[in-house]
Structure 1
Amino acid sequence: MLFDFKVLSIGHLEAGVSGKAPHYAVKFAERYGSPADNYLNAGAALYRLDELLEDAKNLKDNFDKWVPEDNRWAPWVGSEIISYYGVAFVTCLEWHARSRLVDLLTFKPSAAKTDDLRVIKEKVVIEMFAANVTLPAIVGAVTSVSNLDDYLNIFARIFEALGQQIDAWAALKAERPGTGKPWVETVEFDDLYNLYSSRHDLVHEIGITRIGHINVRDRLSPNEALRIGDIVQRSMLAIESALTRVAPADFPNLLDIQGQPVSTLSHIEEEIGRLEKSVGTMTTAFTDEPVEADPNWGPAKTAAADYLAQERKFIDGASMLHNRYVEMREPLRIALAKSRLDYLRSVIDMVGEVWDVSSPPSGNP
């Protein structure tokens, strides 16, 4: 039997009753706050850009085969659609900056600024509560990344919030490992600035650059599209390289030095081991023998490990969690591990608030 259903949130139901659509920022936060649609991250932006570059290369190969350079009009006149790679490239830059701003505010809520809340009116706040979405996701939805300065300023803010004296502009000019060259050449900054203005022209205007004489139209050739896309990719990787180097291990959606996502689950499991050791050490302050842990702690820890193992077995094997289009298992593995992590943190925080563990009261509590 096949099931095709979607559970509506309270926000959707209230919107239906009132006849008004939810605020666009709330809809955005709902859409990309779902574990099954978790694409608001730097890895997704880089993956999308890589796909676009592969697509552009395949298109160039086809043009080279069927429309040899000797038969082409100069300047390039081939296919209008090639210019729209520029729109997609800018979208990748925008997604990169927005996603990392959401990561920052999720990791460090105190990094929020008054300007972040400029559109959070009373109506939006009510919808946020109804839809159960987070403030960082709302800020990510409303943040404008309309030019290169906006893009780099967001990352300058992130580095500053992390206590790092890193200039985002300098990060792009830093030496790319193994090349002896900067990530982005000085002359290529003009290409990045012009990319935004060209994108604006493409999606908002129809002027001489679109329908004027064929000699004065502004369009990308396949080679130029690949060159610009490569600059964009190097820019994003330069920023991520700097972030990988300085960000804490628990910063959300970290990438490795190759630009590949770091396993969130592996980090959580390592943290669970560290916290379990801390809890075991803390219990020795409340036993008759200072070097011995509470006798119930070992069995509790073993039982928790067995429970997690059984749940993971269920997640790995459940037919309802296997889908060719949506990855449901990894988000559930992470949710399962986080439940243990949150509990251990709560134990440590609770004990720390009540007792001075380094000097416990005489006798056992």
Structure 2
Amino acid sequence: MSDSPLSAPRATDGRAPDVFHAGGWVPMKQFAEHDAVDFVVIGTGAGGGPLIARLAEMGYSVIGFDAGAYFRPLEDFASDETSQSQLFWTDERLVDGANPLKMGSNNSGKAVGGSTVHFAMVSLRFRPEWFKSRSKLGYGADWPLDWREMWQYYSRAERDLAIAGPVSYPWGPRRPRYPYRAHEINGAAALLARGAEAMGYRWTETPLATVSAPRGNSPSCVYRGFCRVGCSTNAKQSQLVTYIPRALKAGAEIRDLAMVGRIEVDVEGRATGVHYHRNGHWHFQRAKNVIVAGYAIETPRLLLSSATDRFRDGLANSSGLVGRYLMTQSNQAAYGVMDDMVR
């Protein structure tokens, strides 16, 4: 029988893959489908992973669902471009409107751990003015949260993910020191830093979700350059190697290769469970509460496809805004011409 993470679910029979050892397993609690668990969390990435872990640690019964595979980084990832497609969510997904998004390849991941398994580790905080970008900067939308409220959660996540960052961050309000020293910059970065200094620009090392010194089961980063196709050394601090192991240890269950297609609600409009597709069949898992943490595309798609006679426009959509004003990850860059070769 193939042990390929893409061929069949791995998190079954009371065990889940050990992400720190090739071929290893760890015990996992399993719940019956007829048992109404306290929480079903759809998505195990940046939003779902910490929720699954914290709820389980508080004593709740929790199942985390993910449409992606359950990888063991040390054996399933390689420094090879041809292997990168196993992480990309390349199923057809239509994101239409005045400014449609092109989905696929490296802007959406499909794995237990979500897109954090293939993100490039950059771990910046929103600056205070960005929380009020509409009123202060004239674009986007103002957040309903104050930046000070978010600061405490940033600090907690940076500790849990062992973010490596500069001792002094030169922009925005003063922040707590990062758990690990900044990652050493390479030759190309040093050259760009000199260029910034020549132009009068301040610069600093980028806060990264990577250990810059051996820590527990994780080695230091070896600059292999394949962060986005899965870190084969476990130096990258994704949900797969941080919150998910915590969740399993606390008694949560993870169901990989399990695509949730519909949320079921009762006559009063309360969630009663989820319909999901796994091993070629549709199943129904009872639940007292359902948390949707499926990224900017899958969250609205699931809410809209769960429409009922009572909620004809989809669940949680009394405002009519579900699926509108979609914003996915943005990117920023600065370009310049250097006298020296930049490799």
TM-score (norm 1): 0.22
**Structure that is richer in strand per residue:** 2
**Structure that is richer in helix per residue:** 1
TM-score (norm 2): 0.23
